[in-house]
Amino acid sequence: MQYNWKMKNLALYIDLAFCLIVLPIMVALSPIERWVHNFTAYMTLAGAWLYFVYIINRTFTIPFLFGSRNKKIYGAIMILVSIIVTFTLSGIELYIPKPSIHDEGIVRRLPQILQYQQALWTLFMIVEAFSFAVGLLVQTNIQKARLRAAEAERDKAEIELYKAQIKPHFMFNTLNSLYGLFLTENNNALPSLEKFISMMRYIHTSSNRDLVPLSEEAEYIREYVEVQSLRLNEMTKVVLNIDIDNDSLMIPPMLLVTFVENCFKHGVSPVQKSCIHIGLSEDEGNLSFATSNRIFPVKRIGEHMGIENCRKRLELLYPGLYELSIINDNDIYKVSLQIKLKS
């Protein structure tokens, strides 16, 4: 799985900076000119070993430590082997013949012996620490990216589930309204059926899209209100206000219709006066949606499912970007929803 490209490039730049700038500077700070002159092969081997340790750590050791159990064992073995090899290199005795005034055959060890050992271990620890720091930074971001991807897949699956639940829920209620119109031989039955077919077409085309233009969703709500209004008598008044000017704003399909559906489900009575208010508007990318209706208690199976689905979809789609308020005040049910949309 690929992690963030910015993080990948940053890690590459850090690697290059360390290998081409930091490590050479650290080596240069050591009394290397004396060692290179006298122990060229050894210094070349030690320098190559330090670069090799850094590359191995970044490429294999650290990723292995974040892998499976077997890979963790391999990573630990690599660390142990690098320590052993470094210990072996530092144990090589470096000396040059230097005649004594008393005995020309005596070989005197130079005081640089302890210095080069100390320098090798210091550089080795710097390489280990730096490679592990960069590796941990990269692996941490990889783990975070994987977690975000897993959460995104889970959220997408949940959203699809909620959308799938809304469709039959909506169709059942609308078909129930159409059945009532045909049963009473209402003249509005046929126009309602035509609008219902148009709405089904919208549901079908939008079901495969994560986002639809807000203007299309608003038109769908308008058609839904018209279909529902055809079955109402003079006891119920419906006020619909839609003010959408920005055609570039997008919204998840079928996100708002559940609240509108609830207005007609619980706010209509054939014998008592009621008024349903529905408002939808946007201002500079901020969506405002509100409904208000009386409540005439009617118990239905799963009557709260639609609202709960909307809450969950909002939390998944707009975390921290929405405000939903639902108030039941003296048999008046009010919904207010604010969403900061992205154009």
pLDDT digit string (tens) for 199-246? Answer: 777 777 776 777 888 988 898 899 888 877 877 778 889 999 999 888
Domain count of the fold of the chain = 2
- Whether residue 100 lies inside any domain: the answer is yes
Q: What is the CATH number of the domain that holds 262?
A: 3.30.565.10
Q: Which of 202, 279, 212 is nearest to 252 (CA)?
A: 212
pLDDT digits (tens, 9 = 90+) for 161-205: 555 555 555 666 667 667 666 766 666 677 777 777 777 777 777
User: Mean pLDDT for the chain?
Assistant: 76
* More confident position, 320 or 302: 320
The answer to whether 192 touches 230, Cβ cutoff 8 Å, is yes
Instruction: Note whether 212 and 259 are same-domain residues.
Output: yes
Q: Is the pLDDT of residue 332 over 60?
A: yes
Q: Which of 19, 24, 26, 45 is nearest to 131 (CA)?
A: 19
pTM of the model: 0.51
Alpha-carbon span 261 to 309, nearest angstrom:
13
- Whether residue 180 lies inside any domain: the answer is no
Instruction: Note whether 198 and 265 are same-domain residues.
Output: yes
Average pLDDT over residues 64-85: 86
Instruction: Note whether 292 and 192 are same-domain residues.
Output: yes
Q: What pLDDT was estimated at residue 112?
A: 46
Alpha-carbon span 127 to 85, nearest angstrom:
14
Grade residue 323 by pLDDT with cuts at 50, 70 and 90: very high
Residue 217 CB-density burial (10 A; 0-12 exposed, 13-18 middle, 19+ buried):
buried
Grade residue 290 by pLDDT with cuts at 50, 70 and 90: very high
Alpha-carbon span 129 to 115, nearest angstrom:
21
Question: Among all chains, which residue has been given the structure tokens 């052993």?
Answer: 84
* More confident position, 320 or 185: 320
Instruction: Note whether 144 and 247 are same-domain residues.
Output: no
Domain final residue, candidates 149, 173, 206: 149
Instruction: Note whether 194 and 115 are same-domain residues.
Output: no
Q: Which residues pair with 289 in a beta bridge?
A: 280, 337
**% pLDDT > 90, the chain:** 10
Domain holding 203, by residue range, is: 186-340
Average pLDDT over residues 106-112: 45
Instruction: Note whether 144 and 190 are same-domain residues.
Output: no
Grade residue 99 by pLDDT with cuts at 50, 70 and 90: very low
Instruction: Note whether 193 and 333 are same-domain residues.
Output: yes
Instruction: Note whether 243 and 119 are same-domain residues.
Output: no
Instruction: Note whether 137 and 193 are same-domain residues.
Output: no
Alpha-carbon span 134 to 62, nearest angstrom:
10
* More confident position, 133 or 26: 133
Q: Which of 106-110, 133-137, 251-255, 275-279 holds the top average pLDDT?
A: 275-279
Q: What pLDDT was estimated at residue 93?
A: 60
Instruction: Note whether 73 and 9 are same-domain residues.
Output: yes
pLDDT digits (tens, 9 = 90+) for 295-318: 886 655 445 566 777 888 888 788
Question: What HEC string does the chain produce?
Answer: CCCCHHHHHHHHHHHHHHHHHHHHHHHHCCCHHHHHHHCHHHHHHHHHHHHHHHHHHHHHHHHHHCCCHHHHHHHHHHHHHHHHHHHHHHHCCCCCCCCCCCCCCCCCCCCHHHHHHHHHHHHHHHHHHHHHHHHHHHHHHHHHHHHHHHHHHHHHHHHHHHHHHHHHHHHHHHHHHHHHHHHCCCCCHHHHHHHHHHHHHHHHHHCCCCCEEHHHHHHHHHHHHHHHHCCCCCCEEEEEEEECCCCCCEECCCCCHHHHHHHHHHCCCCCCCEEEEEEEEEECCEEEEEEEEECCCCCCCCCCHHHHHHHHHHHHHCCCCEEEEEEEECCEEEEEEEEECCC
- Whether residue 288 lies inside any domain: the answer is yes
Instruction: Note whether 35 and 96 are same-domain residues.
Output: yes
- Whether residue 62 lies inside any domain: the answer is yes
Instruction: Note whether 90 and 10 are same-domain residues.
Output: yes
